[in-house]
Structure 1
Amino acid sequence: MTTTANNNPTAENGTTVFIPLNKLKKHPKNARKTPHSDASIEAKAASIAAKGMLQNLVVEPERDSEGEPTGLYLVSVGEGRRLAQLLRVKRKEIKKTEPIRCVIDTANDAAEISLDENVTRENLSPADEFERFRELSENRGWGAEEIAARFGVTAHVVKQRLRLGAVSPKLMQVYRDGGLSLDQLMAFAITEDHARQEQVYDNLSYNRELWIIRRDLTKTNVAATDRRATFVGAQAYTEAGGTIIRDLFTEDRGGFYEDAALLDRLVIDKLERIAAEIQEAEGWKWVSVHMDYPHAHGMRRTYPRSVELSEEDAAAYDAAQEELERLSAEWEDADVDLPPETVARFAELEAEIERIDATRHAYDVQEIMRGGMFVVLSHDGEARIERGFIRPEDDAPGPEEAQNSETVIDGVRVNGDGEIIEDGEQDEDSDHVATLEPEDEDAGDDGKPLSDALIRDLTVDRTLALRLALGEQPDMAVIAVTHTLAAQTFYRGVDAHCHEIRPTSNHLAAHADGIEDTAAAKTLADRHAGWASDMPRDVADLWSFVAGLDHASLMALFAHCASLTVNAVKLPRETNRRRAHETAGKLATAVSLDMTAHWTPTVRAYLGRVTKAHILAAVREALGDQAAERIADLKKQAMAETAEQLLAGTGWLPPVLRTERPAWLTDDESDAFGTVADVIAPQAQNDDRFTVAAE
């Protein structure tokens, strides 16, 4: 029987009635004392708006102290739905007199039935929920936004449930049976490829860490943080037909690019476009595009030289600089935001100054006509342009250079044309001595040069005097040695120095792939290029250049040239450089070398190339015994990857990279030296960041 409460205020128990919303109030015996959450009320309101009131409320008439009906009704069951309807009134979706379907219950205890509704109810299985959301999307054609509106949740929540509903039915059943946790199911949902999900699941060991599941599922994909993805960009990749896998349950930093081959092709295409534009603008003879820098190119490199600004550029530079200084002074103390036109003018002036500064250095036209450049992808996802390389077939020296240049091959002096230099026999000490010819005593003295033997003797005296004098002038000795090092570092094919000092520089890329793509290598290359661009074009002017440097610049050039000769590389089966390596350690201490600024213990750099014992020793030293024990049962690859995460930020270094603290250093000043285990291990013992579940 259905009636209206206004017509029958004393309806019998079990009667269904429609009661105006403003006549309903919460029953004081309602079992729920903790208020409904805003999200719960929001979801109920959205559901009622979309589908109507699916469940009636259970109420009883309110009576006053004398037992007379007040005309209001107390809600024993359905308080959340009442609040949802009030929310709809507030939003002006319905009126406050909206009739609500209710059932009168005067037989049962209100507190008991309120409790009963919540205690005896069993929530829907999450697996069923995920699959039903998926069915709504597939069968009804509803998108995430529409489904979200009908259930009062966010579109992101709907997308997560849809993704979970797309997990392989086999794995969904494993989840239902308790074989997978919800977090593990979320990890599998990173891809919708059922075959791939099942393959990874079948290959899992007892260790089912979330990061291992995600790693194995994306092993053939490219992370969005990869330099290739950064360079190409998501839009260009997707427009080319690529698919990006996104993890809706973690911070995926842009997802994973599914088609690595397509991404590589897009990288090369973009690099080739950049190379063509630069070649057309600058006129290089050739360009060569590579994903990685071709270290074994075997070419000589030239650098841009300083050039004088044209009168027009010099005047424009001074004018721009003057106006920039005036504007800066004018707005320096301003408390308001700069006007848009002023901001734009600042940008124009800075761009003009930067443009003119770029013309202060330029390559020689001949070098551009016979040289080329490499366009490669840098480690940070930018196009790396390396100019000024001369191929051997294009590297024929000029007549003067060929005539003056010489080298030594198997003890024989050879000039720039490859001809043997016949400069006399050798004495017992293997010194070249000019062949003495009998003097013609009757010959006249006019125009006759001094004999080679006499010149040799005189220059021996001069050399001895130079050694004595230079040894008494340390400042001039620094200039002379710096000149010698710079002549051989920045010039080719000529001996423009008189010191028998031969700097050699070990090519590090021959020993470690990728070393020249690191940030440290880039910094060193930039420093070298900066000095190279300052060198005079003619080596004959180098002495004047070096001698004219201020003391700080002179020492900086000396230090740079000297730094290129450092060789602390330990090669296999090397037995004759023990003292050299000891000296390298002393040098590291002297310069306070901190390798934590240049190296971290990653799987690629260290952990994947050592034994499990070494990995455990590293974790134990940095984080303590407890952290090492937690990963002791992992397989080698999983142990290395877990250790990489644990050691990140700890500053741990293998012994071969540590800098020995100097004997004079006090304990308070020793932070940059030695190991970090004694500092980190105690505080890491109870740090949740370092807990690893090995189950």
Structure 2
Amino acid sequence: MAKAVQKITLNRSEDIPFDKLELSQQNVRNIKAGVSIDDLADDIARRKLLQSLNVRPILGENGEETGRFHVPAGGRRYRALELLVSQKRMATTEPVPCIVKRGDETSAEDDSLAENVQRVDLHPLDQYRAFQTLREQGLSEEEIAARFFVSVATVRQRLRLASVSPRLLDLYANDEMKLEQIMAFSITNDHIRQEQVWDTLPRQHIRDPYYIRRLLTETAIRAGDRRAIYAGVKAYEAAGGAVMRDLFDEDNGGWLQDPALLEQLGVEKLKADAAALKTEEGWKWVEAAFDFPYGHTSGLRRFYGEQQEFREEELARHDTLKAEYEKLDAEYAEAETYSEEIERRLEELGSELDQLNERPYVFDPDEVARGGAFISLAANGELKIERGFVRPEDEPQVKTDSDDSKDGVGAIGNAGHASSSADGISVNGKPASDDQPTEEDNTVRPLSDRLVMDLTATRTVALRNALANDPVIAFVVVLHAFVLKTFYLYGSESCLELTLQSAKFSQTQGLGDTLWAKEIDQRQEAWGQDLPKKPEELWGYLVALDDVSRQALFAHCASLSVNVVIEPWNKRTRAIAHADQVARSIGFDMATAGWVPTVDNYFGRVTKPHILQAVGEAKGEQSAQLIDHLKKQDMAREAERLLDGSGWLPEPLRTVGKETASDDVSPAADKAGNDPADEANGGDVPALLADAADLSDQNQNAHEDDGYSHLDAAE
């Protein structure tokens, strides 16, 4: 005979006056967490009590019930009700719905723990749907946040899930997708694009939220881009442009989805600024572009303005501020304690002094009338204006001796020729040589061309010898020639037959934004301001210059002639070998100089075998195997992450005779037992690949039906 199943009897619910209840000390919740008691009291006042209290009768000495009850589970609700009573918002005798527990099957502590542990937080998707329903009922985001004691940002984040494709939300509801991934997809409202990205992820073996965001925003432009800063995100939105924003992560203003519109707005504003600059300052021409190729000013003469003089009131103000700053700084240097007030005052004084010192430059009106300026965008989105350039065709015409032929050499020569003809003396059908003038002729004739050449040749040799015995002046002479070629270009000439050429690199995008190019431009600008305006005054300036400054100027000019570019039609083998000698002599290396391989400058411009070769050289073949199944674009991105900080250089950037980071990794060393897991623990493998490394050995020759290989474990 089957044994009957014993039926469960539930505890009965009773309404107990609040003044008959006492808070039990057996409640396991002792640490404050979640919604505050004040907020909970307000919520109970609004919607009344939603959950009964769990109580147990208090027994007397003889084991009989005393009519009072203690509350081991529901302590926060009890405190909230107690607060309402103290605020006179609820009567002390108000009946409170309670579940009365009689018997000792479980202890009070057991019940309190079960109530707090066994409950499950609301699924974010359910919370989103509930918030969405309340929104449809007419409640604002602020009202929803106030009712449920969450931040407005939390409400907006949950409501933002409405932008995610219903198909992806269903995957999330079935635990086939993580919350972080759903949040990443919410960055755009394009459901089709969201599903396309999700469908490609299994083949990529990468499902990290950062990677999802990268794929969704790869055709957009960040709000921090210099073009967006310059044109203005507000102006872009006013023109109808859409902006993707990420409510779940730091997005720095979001992503602009219409690059063409942004380009149009930027070009229009740039044209207006260029026209205003030309009109206000009187330049003959102004060229405008978001960015100019490096070397765009090559072949143009540069002239510089002079800083505007202080007005009397400005000079007096400057002296007063400087005196106060120096006095306060000296006193503070001797103080033993930190003073925020003094620090702030020093900062204010320094800022005002800087403003006074940064006076505008005044240019020669004649030069401005024939010169021009370049206007572009700096990295921070502000206008970058380069003033004072003259094109060769705009240079003033220099009057030559040939223009004065009637009064100069030609006139005298004609007289001599007539005199010789009158005497009937000629040699080989020509007038007698001027080297043998007749005694009867008292006319002072010009020296013959041959004699002038012979005499000046003699002077050249003698001057060479004298200059060779004076190294200091020899240095100045070469420097003079270099500076003339570097800063003056036209209307000047040196007696030295030296050439100083500076190669142009207009085809290399972004070269002007590098740290090295910026330092060169800063030196050129600084020397250009210091050098005399006229080339005739340069020699005296250089002679009077101190040795250290002369050497610095010489190094700057000489450096601009360096060219180690390898061209398809000119391998320049000997020049490159000499460049290696120079690099070794000054301890130069591209890695230590700050060059790092990226998608833009290397990995995105080579083939997949080149990428794998680079990773293998820098990190070993095991690391290369972890990415060998990826598509070209994804492989390039992961290679950039892997080689960050490795010091690896492609062959054209290596200095022959100097060790590089890639020399430290050899196939023999890689085969000696390098464990991919050890590499991951050591930081050589990115986090998204680290888990896969443990299984790479067993997976490298096997492929699952769905196409997964090395990175299966990364999920």
Aligned counterpart for 2:487 among listed residues 490, 507, 521: 490
Q: Distance in 1 between matches of 2:400 and 2:75?
A: 97
Q: Distance in 1 between matches of 2:40 and 2:595?
A: 55
Q: Distance in 1 between matches of 2:82 and 2:189?
A: 41
**Which amino acid is the alignment partner of residue 587 of structure 1?**
V
**Which amino acid is the alignment partner of residue 445 of structure 2?**
K
Give the conservation status (yes or no) of the 8 Å contact 1:168–1:194.
yes
Give the conservation status (yes or no) of the 8 Å contact 1:245–1:256.
yes
Partner SS for 2:495: coil
Change (3 A) 1:293 1:437: farther
Match of residue 289 from structure 2: 290
Partner SS for 1:686: helix
Q: Does 1:262 align with 2:248?
A: no
**Which amino acid is the alignment partner of residue 527 of structure 1?**
R
Give the conservation status (yes or no) of the 8 Å contact 1:17–1:104.
no
Match of residue 420 from structure 1: none
Structure 1 spans left out of the alignment, 5+ residues = 1-11, 405-434, 663-672
**Post-superposition offset of 1:222:** 0.9
Give the conservation status (yes or no) of the 8 Å contact 2:56–2:71.
yes
- 1:16-55 matches, cutoff 5 A: 16-20=14-18, 23-26=21-24, 28=26, 33=28, 35=30, 38-39=33-34, 47-55=43-51
Q: Distance in 1 between matches of 2:585 and 2:20?
A: 84
Match of residue 587 from structure 1: 582
Q: Distance in 2 between matches of 1:145 and 1:184?
A: 26
Aligned counterpart for 2:606 among listed residues 610, 613, 631: 610
**Post-superposition offset of 1:684:** 6.0
**Post-superposition offset of 1:504:** 1.2
Match of residue 245 from structure 1: 244
**Post-superposition offset of 1:686:** 1.2
Question: Deviations 1:128-185 (Å, cap 9, x if unpaired)?
Answer: 3322222322x12323322122222222222221122431111111222333222221
**Which amino acid is the alignment partner of residue 589 of structure 1?**
R
Q: Distance in 2 between matches of 1:242 and 1:92?
A: 55
**Post-superposition offset of 1:346:** 5.8
Match of residue 537 from structure 1: 533
**Post-superposition offset of 1:380:** 3.3
Match of residue 213 from structure 2: 214
**Post-superposition offset of 1:691:** 2.2
Match of residue 59 from structure 1: 55
Give the conservation status (yes or no) of the 8 Å contact 1:630–1:692.
no
Give the conservation status (yes or no) of the 8 Å contact 1:375–1:383.
yes
Q: Does 1:567 align with 2:563?
A: yes
- 1:177-256 matches, cutoff 5 A: 177-206=174-203, 207=205, 208-256=207-255
**Post-superposition offset of 1:568:** 0.9
**Post-superposition offset of 1:186:** 1.6
Partner SS for 2:34: helix
**Post-superposition offset of 1:385:** 0.8
Q: Distance in 2 between matches of 1:322 and 1:379?
A: 35
Match of residue 127 from structure 2: 129
Give the conservation status (yes or no) of the 8 Å contact 1:301–1:388.
no
Q: Distance in 1 between matches of 2:190 and 2:197?
A: 11
**Post-superposition offset of 1:621:** 4.6
**Post-superposition offset of 1:75:** 2.9
Q: Distance in 2 between matches of 1:537 and 1:113?
A: 92
User: Structure 1 stretch 620-629 or stretch 551-560: which is displaced more?
Assistant: 620-629
Provide the identity percentage. Answer: 39
- 1:376-387 matches, cutoff 5 A: 376-387=376-387
Q: Distance in 1 between matches of 2:177 and 2:94?
A: 46
Q: Distance in 2 between matches of 1:574 and 1:104?
A: 95
**Which amino acid is the alignment partner of residue 376 of structure 1?**
S
**Which amino acid is the alignment partner of residue 126 of structure 2?**
D
Give the conservation status (yes or no) of the 8 Å contact 1:36–1:80.
no
- 1:309-388 matches, cutoff 5 A: 313=310, 319-332=316-329, 333-334=331-332, 335=339, 337-338=341-342, 347-355=351-359, 358-359=360-361, 362-388=362-388
Give the conservation status (yes or no) of the 8 Å contact 1:58–1:103.
yes
**Post-superposition offset of 1:372:** 2.1
**Which amino acid is the alignment partner of residue 351 of structure 1?**
Q
Question: Deviations 1:566-592 (Å, cap 9, x if unpaired)?
Answer: 0011112434x2121011122122223
**Post-superposition offset of 1:17:** 0.8
Match of residue 162 from structure 1: 159
Aligned counterpart for 1:478 among listed residues 475, 480, 495: 475
Partner SS for 2:286: strand
**Post-superposition offset of 1:623:** 4.6
Q: Distance in 1 between matches of 2:240 and 2:519?
A: 38
**Post-superposition offset of 1:304:** 3.6
Change (3 A) 1:505 1:612: same
**Post-superposition offset of 1:492:** 3.0
Q: Distance in 2 between matches of 1:84 and 1:402?
A: 105
Change (3 A) 1:251 1:554: same
Give the conservation status (yes or no) of the 8 Å contact 2:15–2:95.
no
**Post-superposition offset of 1:351:** 2.4
Question: Deviations 1:469-521 (Å, cap 9, x if unpaired)?
Answer: 111211111111111112222223445211111111110224x1231233322
Give the conservation status (yes or no) of the 8 Å contact 2:305–2:364.
no
Partner SS for 1:75: strand
Change (3 A) 1:280 1:495: closer
- 1:429-508 matches, cutoff 5 A: 438-439=433-434, 441-442=437-438, 444-494=441-491, 496-508=493-505
Q: Distance in 2 between matches of 1:402 and 1:181?
A: 85
Q: Distance in 2 between matches of 1:536 and 1:550?
A: 16
**Which amino acid is the alignment partner of residue 681 of structure 2?**
N
Change (3 A) 1:152 1:265: same
Q: Does 1:100 align with 2:118?
A: no
Match of residue 701 from structure 2: none
Partner SS for 2:389: strand
Q: Distance in 1 between matches of 2:618 and 2:45?
A: 58
Q: Distance in 1 between matches of 2:257 and 2:600?
A: 22
Q: Distance in 2 between matches of 1:469 and 1:203?
A: 77
Q: Does 1:691 align with 2:687?
A: yes
Q: CA RMSD of the aligned region, Å?
A: 3.7
**Post-superposition offset of 1:327:** 0.6
Aligned counterpart for 1:518 among listed residues 514, 521, 524: 514
TM-score norm. by structure 1 comes to 0.80
User: Structure 1 stretch 119-128 or stretch 377-386: which is displaced more?
Assistant: 119-128
User: Structure 1 stretch 105-114 or stretch 239-248: which is displaced more?
Assistant: 105-114
Relative contact order, CA 8 A, sep 6+: which one is greater? 2
Give the conservation status (yes or no) of the 8 Å contact 1:18–1:99.
yes
Partner SS for 2:385: strand
Match of residue 421 from structure 1: none
Partner SS for 1:337: helix
Q: Distance in 2 between matches of 1:60 and 1:468?
A: 116
Partner SS for 2:506: helix
Q: Distance in 2 between matches of 1:103 and 1:498?
A: 109
**Post-superposition offset of 1:401:** 7.3
Question: Deviations 1:634-672 (Å, cap 9, x if unpaired)?
Answer: 22211111222333344443343345677xxxxxxxxxx
Q: Distance in 2 between matches of 1:87 and 1:445?
A: 130
Q: Distance in 2 between matches of 1:22 and 1:401?
A: 117
Change (3 A) 1:305 1:55: closer
Change (3 A) 1:467 1:236: same
Change (3 A) 1:27 1:105: farther
User: Structure 1 stretch 471-480 or stretch 340-349: which is displaced more?
Assistant: 340-349
Partner SS for 2:601: coil
Aligned counterpart for 1:631 among listed residues 627, 642, 651: 627
How many residues are matched?
630
Q: Distance in 2 between matches of 1:657 and 1:78?
A: 71
Question: Deviations 1:191-211 (Å, cap 9, x if unpaired)?
Answer: 122232123223434323323
